[in-house]
Amino acid sequence: MKAHLSVFALTAILVVSIGMAPAFGQIQSSIVVTTDKSSYAEGETILVTGEVRDLYSGTPVSVIIKAPNGNLVSIAQITVGADKKFSTEATAGGSLMKAEGMYTITVQYGTPNRSATTSFEFGGSTVIPPTGGDSEVTDTTVSVQGSSDLIGYEITGGKLLSIMPDVEANSLIISIDATDNGSLTLTIPRSVLDATINGGDDDFFVLIDGEEVDFDETTSSTDRTLTIAFPAGAEEIEIIGTFVVPEFGTIAAMILAVAIISIIAVSAKSKLSIIPRY
């Protein structure tokens, strides 16, 4: 009797051991995937890591990120290491990752039945895109509404989005996406923005998000070049002078003068009086 009980006990222990072995020795599903954080802010790095149960030589892992509305944000194919692990990185934000919400990461290894998903929260884009028609930005120059002259620029630590004139303030409003501490160098034609007093150069006022900052400047007869340091997260730089294009006051005065001269000329030619007779 005792022998039978011993055999039964040993069999039970063996069955339990076999049933528990995968939990310690290998992953349960064919593939797993995780992110290093559950939520991200714009500009942060999303680290995606995972592991496959079975290694298939020459077969990459497809990593697909989709927005809350189901639109494709990014797709990448990653090589699986000899240790059956894989990893990749993506940057939170950008032209396809703007909306706030839950984003889904799907990984697939060869066939659809070898797949897994995870998700992360994105806080949404804080960068306001430039409105159409205000300026056109290339890698080295930016246009300004009302002028055919281009502003040359160099930027580190971020991206220049647009430059708009503020006629009432005699200033240029510069929108940037500062992902890190950096600097912006602008070569501004005097026909676009200038600061003068009694016929000589005057100092500009430069504000970053409403706070006055120092800057470096060099000048020539045609341009003024400013180098402005900005902190990570900065969104707006304003340069205030004494003149900004378009100079609507002067243009309006010229138009009015031309209109008056035209009326006088037409009246004289047709022998008509501007002042009605009674």
Q: CATH number, domain at 106?
A: 2.60.40.1930
Same domain, 225 and 273: no
Q: What pLDDT tens digit does each residue of the chain (278 aa) get?
A: 555 545 455 555 444 444 443 333 445 578 999 999 999 999 899 999 999 999 998 899 999 999 998 888 888 889 999 999 999 999 998 767 888 999 999 999 988 889 999 999 999 876 544 444 457 888 899 998 888 899 999 999 999 999 999 888 899 999 999 999 999 999 999 999 999 998 899 999 999 998 999 999 999 999 999 999 999 999 999 999 998 886 544 444 455 555 566 566 655 555 544 455 55
Same domain, 149 and 207: yes
Strands 45-52 and 85-91: antiparallel
Task: Give the number of other CB atoms < 10 A from CB of residue 221.
Answer: 5
129 within a domain of the structure (yes/no): no
173 within a domain of the structure (yes/no): yes
For residue 39, give its domain range.
28-122
Same domain, 257 and 272: yes
Same domain, 148 and 236: yes
Same domain, 176 and 242: yes
207 within a domain of the structure (yes/no): yes
CA distance 39 to 19: 36
Same domain, 145 and 230: yes
40 within a domain of the structure (yes/no): yes
Looking up tokens 């497809």 gives 62
In single-letter form, the type of residue at position 265 comes to A
Same domain, 146 and 209: yes
Number of domains in the chain: 3
Q: CA torsion sign, 151 to 232 to 67 to 77?
A: positive
CA distance 36 to 27: 19
